[in-house]
A and B are shown apart, each in its own frame.
Chain A
Amino acid sequence: MPDSANEPILDIRDLSIIYPISIGTVHAVQDVTLSLYKGEVLGIVGESGCGKSTLGLSILKLMKPPGRISSGSILYKGTDILGMDDRALLDMRGRNIAMIFQNPLTSLDPLMSVERHFIEAIQVHEPHTGVAECIERAKKILSDLGIEGNRLKEYPYQLSGGMRQRIMIGLALILHPDILLADEPTTALDVIVEAGFTELLIRLHELYSLTVVLISHNLGLVAQMADRIAVMYGGRLVELATVNQIFEKPLHPYTQGLMNCVPNILLEQKELNAMPGSPPDLVGEPKSCPFAPRCPKAMDICRSRVPPLKDYGGRQTACWLYEGGV
């Protein structure tokens, strides 16, 4: 939970990430300012291509070339990650900030046994740890995850998708990082496994006092787990508020549209709602609100100036509608 007395563990300030390509510059992430507080679960939602994964990868400085950070800073406990040398960066990855990826089915090396994965993960940061101790630690964490120790000798192809995902989490948590970045952790899983995964993550969050950044387009998952939600659109942060605030009264028209798209089982509604229009083209410097072409409440100003992210009593949104207050 955000707490004014609490220093943020991760502080992203005015972060912009660009991809120079042949037809221009793609502004994948623009002027994102976001703080993460110890122990909270922050959900980042948005449609495909809105920059949420790029934002997640940038926290580990792992953007795929030719992507690069054009401005801004990411402070982890006061140190700017973007200014770190390679050594400090390698030291931080996995030990302080760990990541689990979109597709657990391909995140494990097919030629390495589970045990080898754990040994590698530990020895990268603690080269003097013996193999026996690594296995001991792996067994301990796997038992927390509900996987039997004798699975350690097996290879990824011998494990089910849910198990592989749990092993990915085990690998991410083995060094007790402060922050866990989960990039669409359930996208590749079926709903039953997803439900189990969600419960597990909630339990681990308490067990390891983790700070979690949950990147997803699955509003249900985010609603269940997150304390706060950041909504991204066209590379920008358009709304940031607590889960209750977002679900009770979404401010930004895009967030409202997203909420509308979630089917409600209680309503006698046969058709699913969809948002008209398509995601914005991110090439070039935008001169208007990126959502304006699809926005049902668009005004003249929306088409000529980009709305800044403003604070409205504990929650933030970037929309001209609320110039006069919420």
Chain B
Amino acid sequence: MNATSSGPEIRAAKYSPAGIAAGLIRRFSAAAKRYRIEWWILVAGAVVIAAIVSMTLFPHLFTHFRPEDMNAGPQMKPPSAAHLMGTDNLGRDVWSRIVYGARTILGVAIAASLASALIGIPLGLVSGFSGGLGDKALSLVMDSIYSFPGLILAIAFAAMLGPGVINITVAVAVVYVPTYFRLVRGQTLSIKQELYVEAAHAIGARRPTVLAKYIFPNVIATVVVVFSLNIADAIMTEAALSYIGLGLPAGMPDWGMDLSMGKKFLPSGVWWMITYPGLMIMLLALGFTMLGEGLSEILNPRLQEY
């Protein structure tokens, strides 16, 4: 037998810190060898996300300026050693606004994606599993939401709800509920035809049990990929909403808002106020897209090349 009968000394080593580290390194290099480019796309995405997430957790490690501090430096000075990304029209440090602004965009994007997943997944599961009139009605509603261009819908909701972090999160979340619903419903429809689901019915499992223990775990793998891609999309939507001024209270550090602020001064040659927030939005969205694509290549055996 193979791993199942590994000796006691190997088993003991497996649980020591050094053993765990060695195991991780081995797995990492094995995966890198096996998947090649997809693996590096995934790692690159993860590194970008990790860097930006650590900005939100420990902003003081990245900058010693406060984002609201109007006396951080002279007004509208180009990037220099003291101000890596220059200063804005109010004398605030652009880099510090980027660092603290990461919290807003990441928070809204992740919270909105989580909210739409938490609503869309259960609805899709139950709808696909039960079928019938309820399923038809719900699908119609979801498809009509889906048929709207996402940004237009988000703008409509944001305008309706008014400014505020919670409201903008809700506006973004509404747009993405159908994404999860449609994906999960479709997967559920195909998984519920599988023989092992029929077998679960045949051993007398109740319908909720079949749904939770047999269908849900088989559906969720695809959702992980979409979740990551969805965050990337939500980032763009959040940035767009705050860019057009439909989102957050003024003064709050936010990449989208800084972008629109920078636009005003671009004609006078102040390129750094608009360039850096724009680059950051792109970088963050790219990070999640790469993570999602990498995951999808690795998790989906049908996409594997030999």
Contacts and interface: CB of A to CB of B under 8 A. Distances in A.
Interface in B184-237: 194-196, 198-206, 209, 213-214, 217-218
Contacts, number: 65
Nearest to B3: A153
B196 A150 contact: no
B80 interface: no
A264 to B, nearest CB: 35
B200 to A, nearest CB: 8
B202 A124 contact: no
B256 to A, nearest CB: 40
Contact of A124 (B1, B195, B196, B209): B209
B4 interface: yes
B144 interface: no
B198 A111 contact: no
A35 to B, nearest CB: 22
Nearest to A111: B217
B202 A106 contact: no
A198 interface: no
B5 interface: yes
Nearest to A103: B195
B204 A150 contact: no
Contact of B204 (A94, A103, A106, A168): A94
Interface stretch (A85-93, A133-141, A254-262): A85-93
A74 to B, nearest CB: 15
A99 interface: yes
B201 A110 contact: no
A319 interface: no
A125 B217 CA distance: 22
A109 B206 CA distance: 16
A102 B195 contact: yes
Contact of A125 (B199, B204, B213, B214): B204
B194 A98 contact: no
Contacts of B204: 90-95, 124-125
A107 B196 contact: yes
Contacts of B203: 93-94, 98, 120-121, 124, 171
Contact of B218 (A91, A110, A125): A110
A142 to B, nearest CB: 14
Nearest to A175: B203
A101 B198 contact: yes
Interface string A112-143: 10000000110011000000000000000000
A98 B213 CA distance: 20
Contacts of B218: 109-111
B202 A109 contact: no
A172 B216 CA distance: 23
Contacts of B199: 99, 101, 107-108, 168, 171
B154 to A, nearest CB: 35
Nearest to B202: A99
Interface of B: 1, 4-5, 194-196, 198-206, 209, 213-214, 217-218
Given A101-B199, A103-B195, A150-B1, 9 more contacts: A60-B202, A62-B202, A93-B204, A98-B203, A99-B202, A106-B196, A109-B196, A124-B205, A150-B5
16 contacts: A60-B202, A62-B198, A62-B201, A90-B204, A90-B206, A91-B204, A94-B204, A98-B203, A108-B196, A109-B214, A109-B218, A120-B200, A124-B204, A124-B206, A153-B4, A168-B199
Q: Which 3 A-B pairs have the closest CB atoms?
A: A94-B203, A93-B204, A94-B204
